[in-house]
Structure 1
Amino acid sequence: MQYTHESLATIPNRYAFLDNIEKLLVADSHQSLFLIDVVRFSDVSSSLGYDFGDKILLEIANRIIYIADNKAVFGRISGDIFGLVLSGTQNQAQLHEFYSHLISHFKTPIQCDDHAFIVDFNVGVASNPLRNKNINSLFSLAEMALRQAKSNKFDNFQYANEINNSEGGRSLTLKADLTRALAQNELEIYLQPVIDLNSLEILGAECLLRWNHPLDGVLFPGALIEAAESYNMMNEVGYWVLNAAFEHAAKLNRVGLQLKISVNMSPTQLYDLDFVKSLREMSVRHGVKMCQFELELTEDVALSNSLLVKKQLSQIRSLGVSVAIDDFGKGYSNLGYLRNIDIDTIKIDKSFIMEINQSPINKAIVEASLLIAKAAKCGLVAEGIEDISHLHILREIGIQKGQGYLFSKAICLDDFIDLAYKDMSVGTSMIRAMNS
């Protein structure tokens, strides 16, 4: 392990970090996981710019590694949250002592350019439950501790060493909601058309999860996803979505609509050794060819150095399934991953499309994305097209595929079939609008 990172990109991301912890747990279950959240860091980035923010984060990361005497496994969980694992038997007092040392050390300001920044943290730490080998259980326990640390009045530290059944009525309610939603078929797949931007024909569809709540109607499933992540049920939800996508593809095929179907892939599925086998079984069960499917993964997953992830993606593509990078350019990106994995499609994050008619930088990013896609010999899809002016600009740049509310929001299967058969495209009304 190195004392100093020269770039945020060399710090193990969430998935590589979890891989490293899992290896530790196999060797010795006595591990303590810190989740270290930089307090109010978004204020720094928004006020002084993301380049400055990156410099500060890099300095913070290297200082934490130094404090741990280079003996700890370290990683970056998200933008301003770091993870640290201390091996060996540690009691609560010892872990709090490390936290106090951390806080004390960072009372010395970080100097960057002409600015000084004093760092404060919320810290959640979990001691691995006895004989536990499940990384998700340990990580969920640390996440629970971090949530509590953020709400503490006097000490931004929280320790946990076992699942606390009184952790909060809301979380327990979410778990009950998720269990019921899966058992009683309350979940549903909606489809958002992917459009040929020149002919305006429907080329495919992205599957998006919706929740038919018994009291509140059709909802976006954000709360359910939160519950699934907290209770290690993302794999179950991911397989439900994938199976439903195969069912929808089979129904579309039966009515003569053989379209490309895109499905967001749960990161946990890439770590499931039975995932490729499950794909084959679904393909046979529903009579749908693998080449009709495209699995979308986020850049965070693609950035993982995990050999297992690379192997899984290679096997998936060997079946004929396409692989896409979703939300391309969102957040902190290290484009070097494009050299290490084979992909079929890049989906440009909607934040670059929605203001493309106002921001020359957004337009330049989209143009650069097209050059990258051509060099990588993969397709390019623009997300978040909401205005006729967006469509005109994307056509001028040479983007050929896109999706967004300009064409259609995500709709249920029957409405999607009606839309597709209305005139086999959304083109007629759109062309009239553009020429009026």
Structure 2
Amino acid sequence: MQHESLITIPNRYVFLGEIEQLLKIDPEQSLLLIDVVRFSDVSSSFGYEYGDKVLLEIANRIAFLFNDNAIFGRIGGDVFGLILSGGLQQNQLYDFYSHLIQHFKIPIQCNDHAFIADFNVGAASNPKNNSDINHFFSLAETALKQAKDNKFDNFQYAQNLTDNSSGRALAFKADITRALDQNELEIYFQPKIELNTLQIIGVECLLRWNHPLDGLIFPGALIEAAESYNMMNELGYWVLDQAFKSAAHLNSVGLRLKIAVNMSPSQLYDLKFANKLIKMAQKHQVELSQFELELTEDVALSNSILVKKQLSQVRALGATIAIDDFGKGYSNLAYLRDIEIDSIKIDKSFIMQIDESPVNRAIVEASKLIAEAANCELIAEGIESIQHLHILREIGVSSGQGFLFSKAIPINDFIELANKDITVGTSFVRENQLA
């Protein structure tokens, strides 16, 4: 349904009434509360009448996006709600969140201005046998509050009525210890592709959590708790050790590839970081030159003497340094003058819709010029269509990764894919029709 005014969108009380009626029919319902990030900046800069126009456009796009799967309402201000049928699990609700975020990478056009909306999302599934609408809604509100405080992901899932911030954090602290002890964590591998030949030339290691209740999930909440409890070093070094171990295994089966691993900020402030890298390389009998360590722009922006020193030591050992998610958020590019890096990974938000958005294409072209000036490789993330591939080839981007080639997969699946590519050669191109 297309709304002509914010007034026609079901308000908080109507929305709560609809949830209450649904719970009487079927208690298995899920709820997303969607907060538009920093929307007050639009209203304060351009006036409230203009702000309402933009908010109405956002509302209609959300309603259209989930039209067949949800009941839509406005909780108040710039917060909207979606009722989803079924007691959905965390990973399923995260998929709705991801769909929302990716859709809104397309700018909102209003008069002569364009905006890219971002969201905090709190998600909850109605607890078993609960018929109290207030408990259910409070659960989602608690999740939304936590989502606003998260550093790594603007999504939070709440799973029981006694959830509170301290209890949740303590539970996640226990989860970290259990996950490490019980081998619940696993490294997945996403191939890096040479875009002209379509050969696999590298791989990125990505952490996945085999949760005993929720199944395979992205570990954003786990990482958040690890940061809060100063356990990020333990988790980060576990990932690094697994990456070195995996490199040794890949080498043993004839797949000597460049392996990218994310660095946590806390590791860069560990004075023993370089020595630990040396010991890991010796332990698994691999060379550090086989590794590319990725850091985010906010770490690079810290511009601290210690960060520069650590990165310099890492490069002296033979490893290369990459900036991940380049251009995401509000970036001060001055750090590129001060830190020696080897690769720039342009954020997938600029690759999405590159075939439809001249601005996205211009940003990628500008990033290539910056990379050339800094003597860096430019890597495209989030390549999902043949059109993306052809445009990136036209621009001159030489390598990238994305679902067009492969999602992140377990190591045995990756070995099968890589062997197929390397031993069969052009069959990888023919079978995927990417040439």
**Structure-2 residue corresponding to 1:189:** 187
Query: Is the 1:324–1:346 contact (alpha carbons within 8 Å) kept by the matching residues of 2?
Result: yes
Report the CA distance shift for 1:45/1:390 in structure 2 as closer, same or farther (over 3 A). Answer: farther
**Kept in 1: contact 2:351–2:360 (CA 8 A):** yes
Matches of 2:43 and 2:243 in 1, distance apart? 43
1:217 aligns with 2:215: yes
| Distance in 1, Cα, partners of 2:249 & 2:338 | 36
1:43 aligns with 2:39: yes
Aligned to 1:261, the other structure's residue is in SS state strand
Structure 2 counterpart of 1:216, which letter? Answer: D
> Would the alpha carbon gap of residues 268 and 368 (structure 1) be closer, same or farther in structure 2, given more than 3 Å must change?
same
Give the one of 275, 287, 290 matched to 2:285.
287
Match in the other structure for 1:263: 261
1:304-345 deviation per Cα after TM superposition (whole angstroms, max 9, x unaligned): 121001000000000000000000011111111100010000
Q: Evaluate the alpha carbon distance shift between residue 167 and residue 199 of structure 1 in structure 2; reply closer, same or farther with a 3 A threshold.
A: closer
Mapping of residues 32-431 of structure 1, within 5 Å: 42-45=38-41, 168-424=166-422, 428-431=427-430
Q: Is the contact between residue 407 and residue 426 of structure 1 (CA under 8 Å) also seen in structure 2?
A: no
Shift of residue 216, structure 1, vs aligned partner:
2.5
CA distance in 1, matches of 2:420, 2:267: 37
Contact 2:322 2:344 in 1 (8 A): yes
Which residue matches 1:137? none
Give the whole-Å Cα distance in 2 for the aligned partners of 1:270 and 1:323.
Answer: 12
Q: Is the 8 A contact 1:294 1:322 kept in 2?
A: yes
Aligned residue identity for 1:339 = R
Relative to structure 1, the CA distance from residue 47 to residue 408 in structure 2 (aligned partners, 3 Å threshold; closer, same or farther) is: farther
Q: Could you report, residue by residue, the CA deviation over 1:15-55 in whole angstroms, capped at 9, with x for unpaired residues? A: xxxxxxxxxxxxxxxxxxxxxxxx976103566889xxxxx
Gaps of 5+ in 2: 1-34, 47-144, 150-163
Task: Note if contact 2:421-2:428 (Cα within 8 Å) is conserved in structure 1.
Answer: no
Deviates more, 1:286-295 or 1:297-306: 297-306
Paired position in structure 1 for 2:66: none
Give the aligned residue type for 1:304: S
Name the SS of the counterpart of 1:303 in structure 2.
helix
Aligned letter for 1:291? S
Q: What is the CA distance between 1:270 and its match in structure 2?
A: 0.4
- Shift of residue 401 of structure 1? 0.1
Q: State the SS of the aligned residue for 1:320.
A: coil
Query: Does the 8 Å contact 1:420/1:426 carry over to 2?
Result: no
TM-align CA RMSD? 2.6
TM-score by length of 1: 0.63
Counterpart of 1:103? none
CA displacement at 1:429 relative to structure 2 = 4.3
| Cα gap change, 1:172 to 1:256, in 2 (>3 Å) | same
| Alignment check: 8 A CA contact 1:194 1:203 kept | yes
Matching residue's letter, 1:239? Y
Q: Which runs of 5+ in 1 are unaligned?
A: 1-38, 51-146, 152-165
Residue 178 of structure 1, CA deviation: 0.9
Write the letter of the residue equivalent to 1:320.
Answer: G
What residue number does 1:7 align with? none
Give the 3 Å change call, closer, same or farther, for CA 47–192 of structure 1 in structure 2: farther
The Cα offsets for residues 140-178 of structure 1, whole Å up to 9 and x where unpaired, read as xxxxxxx79x99xxxxxxxxxxxxxx8532222111111
* Fraction of identical pairs, as percent: 66
Q: Structure 1 CA distance, aligned partners of 2:425 and 2:208?
A: 23
Amino acid at match of 1:196: E
Q: Residues 308, 367 of structure 1: CA spacing in aligned structure 2 closer, same or farther, 3 A cutoff?
A: same
CA contact (8 A) 1:195 1:403 kept: yes
| Structure with greater contact order relative to length (CA < 8 Å, sep ≥ 6) | 1
